[in-house]
């Protein structure tokens, strides 16, 4: 009995020490937020940015896998609009057209020792889904301004970045700013279909000139509210990387025949393929809190309620539990691992004929650190059936290189965010979709992905969806952000 009491006391002491260690470690994790010193008031011409945004929407610069009739004239109209609205940009910067309609502007710096940087956006937009135009509150290409919003395709993805960057630049040129650092402005025309004829060609041109960039900033994550669990404040996420993408085709074959005489259990093409799909669905690819996700949780943990803060500050003990909880949410799960999405399925030609072949296409969004070859090997391991063919479906691409939130370049972007969105928690993150920024991995030290837009949960479905729109106040904040970022990046003592 005495020994049991001593053992109990020992366990109690150990648990108390463990609890003290957890609490102490949690309290040591102080806020990593830069001091929020709001930028000086900036007079933005609201009418100019709103009317330019609306006119840009009316240019139907739609990208499709097959050529869109008349789209060349739409790009020409957009370029004419930009020349009209931003005359100083076109007069004082070097302007190059690359490919058919991609644009490269060079704002030449005075100090060649300063490594150049680049700001990015894209001119093209996705099509409106067939038969959905009547569902829009405003026609998708009318550029209607109503209710405090500019409505239409491209307002969020991604003409707002294009317009507000150029307006901020025009304002700096009007103020007589001369940058010490060279700044490029890169505007692709085919981002929505991979960027091969646009930004890929711009990168090749810069590479031929021996250009090495300190960093690039492209579209990406945003200032979200009500999306990050456990935080009541807005959270501004700056993407350190983006996931890759590959689709694999799984196929099973079996002798065709009449449905009146089906094969044994699991022997038909459909049954064999179905069993493989069930195994893949039941076994997600390996993952965990690492890379961009780890840096994100390090940054936001001190801003969370104590219970969540304790769990995230002591991953050496709580990692399995935290990862299981994160895996339950679709967005948080996607930050942890290469995801598996079954998207296409085909078999058979008639209801009374046993199909001789069944096929499925599965799309994988590849986590930085994983590769296409690794994904294929994992699929073959999980399927565990040599009779299932596993082949590439179309062209895939790997994840981008992972930047770091500890670099001076990240701090510069973070500083601009904090000055304009002073109420937001700023943290690194992982972009789940693809952008043109990945094409710069070979000539840039870091690529960041951030849009200075406030997103509520309800706004997420508007990107590539119905009723895409942007608030007028958002456009003004975007101009303020890019004006501040360009001021900081230019290194000019003349900058206001």
What is the pLDDT, as a whole number, of residue 38? 81
Choose the weakest-confidence range: 103-107, 473-477, 491-495: 491-495
Q: Given the structure tokens 């830069």, which residue do they identify?
A: 34
Active site residue ranges: 124, 191
What are the tokens at 113? Answer: 């020792």
* Range name among 26-35, 43-52, 135-144, 244-253 with the lowest pLDDT average: 26-35
Each residue of 352-408: pLDDT tens digit?
A: 999 999 999 999 999 999 999 999 999 999 999 999 999 999 989 999 999 999 999
Q: What pLDDT is recorded for position 1?
A: 66
Query: What is the pLDDT, as a whole number, of residue 31?
Result: 86
Q: Residue 447 in contact with residue 439, Cβ under 8 Å?
A: no
Which are the contacts of 62, defined by CB distance < 8 A and separation ≥ 6?
A: 68, 71, 74, 124, 125, 126, 127, 153
Integer Cα distance of 190 and 175 in angstroms: 33
pLDDT of residue 30: 83
* Whole-number percent of the chain with pLDDT over 70: 99
Strand partners, 225: 456
C-alpha 220/C-alpha 97 separation (Å) is 24
Task: Write out the E strands in 229-338.
Answer: 235-242, 244-253, 257-258
Instruction: Please tell me the predicted confidence (pLDDT) of residue 347.
Output: 96
The string of pLDDT tens digits covering residues 227-261 is 777 788 999 999 999 999 999 999 999 999 988 88
Mean pLDDT of 174-202: 97
pLDDT tens string 256-294? 998 888 998 888 999 999 999 999 999 999 999 999 999
Taking the chain, what is the end-to-end CA distance rounded to the nearest angstrom?
78
Euclidean distance between CA atoms 496 and 483, whole angstroms:
10
> Which letter, b or e, does each residue of 78-91 get, where b requires 16 or more Cβ atoms within 10 Å of its Cβ?
bbebbeebbeebbe
Q: With contact defined as beta carbons under 8 Å apart, do 435 and 240 qualify?
A: no
CA distance 37 to 35: 6
- In order of 197, 453, 454, the CA distances from 421 in angstroms are 35, 10, 9
Gap between the Cα atoms of 283 and 383, Å rounded? 10
Which residue has 């790009």 as its token pair? 75
CATH T-level assignment (fold) for domain 46-240+402-490: Aminopeptidase (3.40.630)
CATH for 244-392 is: 3.30.70.360
The CA-based angle 417-366-313, given to 5 degrees, is: 55
Closest CA to 300 of 32, 27, 111, 11: 32
The full set of domain ranges for the chain reads 46-240+402-490, 244-392
Q: Regarding predicted confidence, which is higher, 431 or 12?
A: 431
Distance between CA 259 and CA 224 in Å, rounded? 53
Distance CA(335)–CA(25), nearest Å, equals 25
Whether the per-residue pLDDT at 13 is higher than 80: the answer is no
Q: Which of 462, 264, 361, 424 is nearest to 414 (CA)?
A: 424
């Amino acid at each position: 009995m005495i020994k049991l009491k001593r053992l109990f006391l020992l366990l109690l002491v150990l648990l108390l020490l463990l609890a003290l260690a957890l609490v102490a470690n949690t309290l040591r994790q102080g806020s990593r937020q830069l001091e929020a010193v709001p930028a000086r008031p900036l007079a933005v011409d609201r009418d100019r940015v709103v009317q330019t945004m609306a006119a840009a929407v009316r240019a139907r610069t739609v990208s499709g896998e097959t050529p869109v009739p008349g789209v060349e004239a739409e790009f020409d109209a957009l370029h004419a609009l930009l020349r009209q609205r931003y005359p100083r940009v076109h007069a004082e910067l070097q302007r190059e057209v690359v490919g058919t309609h991609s644009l490269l502007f060079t704002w030449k710096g005075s100090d060649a020792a300063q490594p150049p940087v680049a700001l990015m956006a894209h001119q093209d937009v996705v099509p409106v889904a067939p038969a959905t135009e009547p569902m829009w509150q405003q026609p998708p290409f009318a550029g209607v301004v109503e209710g405090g919003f500019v409505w239409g395709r491209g307002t969020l993805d991604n003409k707002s970045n294009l317009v507000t960057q150029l307006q901020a630049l025009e304002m700096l040129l009007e103020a007589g700013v001369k940058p010490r650092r060279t700044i490029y402005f890169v505007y692709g025309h085919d981002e929505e279909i991979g960027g091969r004829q646009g930004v890929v060609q711009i990168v090749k041109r810069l590479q031929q000139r021996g250009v090495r960039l300190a960093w690039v900033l492209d579209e990406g994550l945003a200032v979200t509210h009500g999306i990050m669990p456990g935080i009541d404040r807005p959270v501004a996420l700056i993407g350190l990387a983006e996931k890759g993408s590959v689709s694999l085709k799984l196929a099973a074959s079996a002798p065709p025949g009449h449905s009146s005489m089906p094969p044994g259990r699991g022997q038909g093409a459909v049954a064999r393929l179905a069993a493989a799909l069930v195994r893949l669905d039941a076994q997600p690819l390996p993952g965990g809190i690492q890379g961009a996700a780890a840096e994100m949780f390090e940054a936001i943990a001190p801003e969370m309620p104590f219970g969540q803060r304790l769990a995230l500050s002591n991953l050496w003990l709580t990692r399995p539990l935290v990862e299981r909880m994160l895996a339950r949410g679709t967005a948080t799960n996607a930050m942890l691992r290469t995801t598996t999405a079954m998207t296409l399925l085909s078999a058979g030609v008639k209801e009374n004929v046993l199909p001789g072949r069944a096929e499925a296409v599965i799309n994988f969004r590849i986590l930085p650190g994983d590769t296409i070859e690794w994904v294929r090997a994992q699929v073959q391991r999980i399927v565990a059936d040599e009779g299932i063919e596993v082949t590439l479906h179309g062209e895939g691409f790997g994840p981008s290189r992972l930047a770091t939130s500890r670099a001076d370049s990240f701090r510069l972007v973070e500083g601009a965010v904090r000055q304009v969105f002073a109420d937001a928690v700023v943290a690194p993150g992982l972009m789940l979709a693809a952008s043109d920024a990945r094409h710069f991995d070979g000539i840039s030290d870091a690529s960041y992905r951030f849009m200075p837009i406030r997103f509520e949960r309800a706004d997420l479905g508007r990107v590539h969806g119905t009723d895409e729109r942007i608030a007028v106040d958002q456009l003004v904040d975007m101009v303020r952000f890019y004006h501040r970022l360009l001021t900081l990046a230019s290194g000019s003592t003349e900058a206001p």
